[in-house]
Amino acid sequence: MSATVSARKRWWALAVLSLTQLVVVLDGTIVTIALPQAQFELELTDVQRQWVVTAYALAFGALLLLGGRIADYWGRKRTYLVGMVGFGLASAYGGLAQSGVELIVARGLQGVFAAMLAPAALALVAVTFPTGRDRNIAFAIFGTVAGAGAAVGLVLGGVLTEFADWRWCLLVNVFFVVIGVIGALVLLSESKADGDNRYDWPGAVVVTLGLGAVVYGFSLAETGWGSPWTIGFLAAGVLLLALFVVIESRGSQPLLPLRIVTDRVRGGALLIQAVAGSVIIGATLYVTLHLQVVLGMSALWAGLASLPIPLVSVLLAPLVTRMLSRVGPRPLLITGPLIVAAALLYLSRITATGTYAVEVLPALLVMGVGMSLLFVPLQNVALSRVAAHDMGAASATVNSALQIGGSVGLTVFTAVYAGALGGSGQSATPAALASAYGATFVAAAIGMVAAAVIAVVLVRGAKEDLLPSVARKEHGREREHAAV
């Protein structure tokens, strides 16, 4: 009886942790639909408008590795609770913001606390479901929620903007935070890395500055790739990240143990995660802009029109989970990105005179199929064969790949869009806008083809080796790995 209760309890714990993941991911996009209203009310400049999105993703991605280590050393449940409460307070601050600067600061603070919250949640899933079929199902649910979060954010943002006010796109998080805190106190158990653990502060500072410089450099590319500021920030970012690798290779307790990313399969999964993040955060924005600016949909209808992606992903998740057990993750990680790429190429043919039903809906339905095939196995593969001691750091790396990929993708697609418009800006005709949006979808499709190639080259091996095994020898390998 107690085993049944325990099993029941951990599935309820998964529900709470999945809700957390949904909030963290959707907050990257929930304000997208509300931005026109927020820009008008707070008198934001176009640069400030972009930073409302970028500030969240940048702070989130840059601090995730430190957040992962805090979860490992201080305690995953404790870190989860602090991150959740802080996220709620930052959301309330943003919802009550009276200026553009306050809104951007609030979004940055959301990213800071999300950087604690996300790796703690993912690590708690991994330690709650250590092996076997239940682990595959748990990661399928968690991955599906992560994949659908961006689109759900667009829908929720549309509903709240249409029927309430753009501020509720931030204030609604307080409701989720209350559920998360109560659920964590009742359902989650504490876990943390054993031993005498010290924080790698030099590594934390260098990687944060490095990732920040890279993302900011890409954001400047909209004004020109040859700009000295663009080149300078990108070069500084690369040099700082190279220094970070040196620091981590020499430290006794590194922020990011290099064994996490040098594993061929895991490294491939992280690269795929980064590309997928760029498509989720970047390309989804331009779908929404096309629906509102060119097709003239309201915020509500634009949000609802984005529903096919998450709906198809959720409906297919059980089937894809069964496929994962039978064929393994490699075929899914190859096929999924190619299906998404095909959908994006179809979407690139949009015109100013076309209809949603003909030019957009079919692509979104197919994209949902590809996203389900991609996200169900992706995080499972990225966290397979990770020692318990490194689970928080590995979880942070997975989330960081998604957020940094999304930040870079958003800025790259913005540069592609600006280049396609040729400087016409706000005076562009609907036909020119549709063509520019199409160019961003072609760029996103190229990225997804690259993700499939990465899967072919790096995600190799028998399915038993790519997914956690129930066998005791797997636990033995993890203990040996941790000892090393």
359-403 pLDDT tens trace: 999 999 999 899 889 888 887 787 777 776 676 677 778 777 877
CA distances from 26 to 117, 130, 274, 375 (A): 14, 27, 17, 15
Letter string b/e over residues 217-253, b meaning 16 or more CB atoms within 10 A of that residue's CB: bbbbbbeeeeeeebeebbebbeebbebbbebbeebee
| Residue ranges, the chain, pLDDT below 50 | 1-5, 469-484
Residue 124 is predicted with a pLDDT of 86
Tally the C-alpha atoms within 13 A of residue 34's C-alpha that lie toward its C-beta. Answer: 32
Do the Cβ atoms of 40 and 165 come closer than 8 Å? no
What whole-number distance in Å separates Cα of residue 344 and Cα of residue 452? Answer: 14
Residue 313 is predicted with a pLDDT of 81
What whole-number distance in Å separates Cα of residue 419 and Cα of residue 423? Answer: 7
C-alpha closest to that of 343 among 327, 360, 328, 329:
360
CA distances from 325 to 92, 315, 316, 330, 470 (A): 43, 18, 15, 11, 13
Residue 426 is predicted with a pLDDT of 60
C-alpha closest to that of 336 among 304, 306, 381:
381
Residue 91 is predicted with a pLDDT of 93
Sort 262 into a burial class: Cβ within 10 Å, 0-12 / 13-18 / 19+: exposed
How many other C-beta atoms lie within 10 A of the C-beta of residue 310? Answer: 26
Residue 299 is predicted with a pLDDT of 77
Q: Calculate helix-pair angle for 76-95, 2-26, nearest 10 degrees.
A: 40
CA distances from 285 to 138, 165, 255, 420, 445 (A): 29, 20, 33, 16, 15
Q: Calculate helix-pair angle for 391-421, 430-458, nearest 10 degrees.
A: 140
